A and B are shown apart, each in its own frame.
Chain A
């Protein structure tokens, strides 16, 4: 359970014995504010610079020293993106790959998680360790052979190569998250369904899965983000027709004589948006799930 979940929802403790010296508290507040300003500046000033550059006219961006506030903010960089047809190819690829990854990942990890949660058989623990350990293996190394494997099956430069890879790498987190959800469903419920004559598959699909719906959504969003953010697999396994936005943006903007920084910053902002939206939707699960994983190890 996460720390925030276990905080009792009762009125705050009566402040009887808290006759703390006021000066001390004020001093520690000052320390807190210094930390917030210094580290918060490191965190947020780059975000400001991303936004500011994306609004800077192309002619102004190659000035030194740069203007900290763009003197005549413009959306030109954003409209320029709309005129680049190749970017729409990357966008479509990103959407297709991420959505299919999300769906496939939910199906595969729900099956696995249910099996781990509700059944006992030999090899179960080793399998669970394999799933957990799979996130520890370096992807740059796996790709050395994966490239040959996908090539042998004619899957290079296809959505399938990307979706299968991404789905696999979502398993550790999605399986663990969903197992947590299934663990909270009482065994008696499944037993009752069996006694009533429901087949195991039917019990799973029409009784267990609906109860775990929030978990399925969370797992799906996570898998979507995993597919959306990936760089190395899409870079290696797909060409420009099937590549997603991250390697696509590198191809489009990096390595040219003069990078179109306002456009690149605008594109960066747009690419980050779906992740931010998914996160806001996920926040409840994520923070809880992360800390649950941490406490359990």
Chain B
């Protein structure tokens, strides 16, 4: 861009720091405006009584936080943990099972690896629509199959019963997340040197033994990483829960994400939303610190 000779000389002088900083500025401005400022501001609103609809706010100290802790915080924490643990463990089981199966020399393994990724490519709302239809109380295919095989006596309203709604949401989210687990674990499995398996096999180790003695130790790093990342993501997941149940029935599928959203945009209570969000962030920060520790350890190893 520097057309003149003078410009060129200046250009070479500003090379290094100034140019490097200029390059970072647009991204930094976006991060500041869209992430950093909103985050700090949302959390400070925890200490004010503030409405989404009216300007102005009054300082109330810890009142919001006390209210939340005395209110539904513990129920939300429990439900968020149930959702998060469920949507971390189940996709791991399915993803790991498929990764192990498709890492063998069975016919069509390569094509199947690609086909199994389909659920991952589907937008979150589509996942919700599809499972809403499968779980439908009156015409749903799940009821028909389970009734046909005699596993249930009468059709269930899976998404509208407090006893089954959370499980249904977890199943839908599992369907969306297992392919990512599968891809990561397959990549991990491919780093296991085949010679180790062969040596163990020559020494008379069976498949289970080889899995425990050879495969698992190799995968420890990647297993920890995918579980941790999936846990952090699910701890703040919103889309599928919100579309499938909207937090219902009777708030039994409400998590921190949907509760903060509802409090702010349907209850218009920014103080309460901020208080919930602040507590949520504290928990999340603990997870992120664990993640950073973990990945630093991985880097050193």
Contact = CB atoms under 8 A, between A and B. Distances in A.
Interface string A12-42: 0100011010001001110111011011101
A231 B239 contact: yes
Nearest to B55: A148
Nearest to B12: A194
B45 A145 contact: yes
B133 A144 contact: no
Contacts of A261: 133, 139
Interface string B143-162: 11001100000010000000
Given A3-B188, A291-B184, A168 B19 contact: no
B214 interface: no
Contacts of A204: 23
Q: Is the interface of B mostly helix, strand, loop or mixed?
A: helix
A268 interface: yes
Given A35-B101, A201-B1, A236-B265, A140 B15 contact: no
Interface in A222-275: 228-229, 231-232, 236, 246-247, 249-250, 253-254, 261, 264-265, 268, 271-272, 275
A197 B12 CA distance: 8
A167 to B, nearest CB: 6
A136 interface: yes
Interface residues of A, number: 107
B97 interface: yes
A238 B181 CA distance: 33
Interface in B101-126: 101-102, 104, 106, 112, 115-119, 121-126
Interface string A97-131: 00000000001110110111011010000010011
Contacts of A109: 27
Nearest to A118: B20
Contacts of A212: none
B123 A275 contact: yes
A49 B134 contact: yes
Contacts of B14: 200
B118 A147 contact: no
Nearest to B281: A141
A11 interface: no
Given A271-B123, A290-B187, A139 B118 contact: no
A121 B16 CA distance: 8
Given A35-B100, A42-B94, A232-B239, A2 B2 contact: no
A290 B126 contact: no
A216 to B, nearest CB: 15
A167 B133 contact: no
A143 B238 CA distance: 12
Contacts of B184: 290-291, 294
Contacts of B85: none
Nearest to B117: A279
A246 B124 contact: yes
Interface in B264-297: 264-265, 270, 273-274, 277, 280-281, 284, 288, 291, 294-296
Interface string B163-180: 000000000000100111
A17 B7 CA distance: 68
Nearest to B299: A297
B141 A111 contact: no
Nearest to B199: A17
Interface of A: 2-4, 7, 13, 17-18, 20, 24, 27-29, 31-33, 35-36, 38-40, 42-44, 46-47, 49-50, 53, 61-66, 68, 107-109, 111-112, 114-116, 118-119, 121, 127, 130-131, 133-134, 136-149, 164-165, 167-169, 171, 175, 194, 197, 199-202, 204-205, 228-229, 231-232, 236, 246-247, 249-250, 253-254, 261, 264-265, 268, 271-272, 275-276, 279, 287, 290-291, 294-297
21 contacts: A3-B188, A3-B191, A4-B187, A39-B97, A42-B94, A42-B175, A43-B175, A108-B27, A111-B26, A112-B28, A114-B23, A119-B17, A136-B291, A138-B260, A139-B238, A142-B35, A144-B274, A145-B38, A149-B37, A197-B8, A199-B2
Interface of B: 1-2, 7-8, 11-12, 14-17, 19-21, 23-24, 26-28, 30-31, 33-39, 41-43, 45, 52, 94, 97-98, 100-102, 104, 106, 112, 115-119, 121-126, 129-134, 138-141, 143-144, 147-148, 155, 175, 178-180, 183-184, 187-188, 190-191, 194, 198, 201-202, 206-207, 222, 225-226, 232, 236, 238-239, 242-243, 256-258, 260-261, 264-265, 270, 273-274, 277, 280-281, 284, 288, 291, 294-296, 298-299
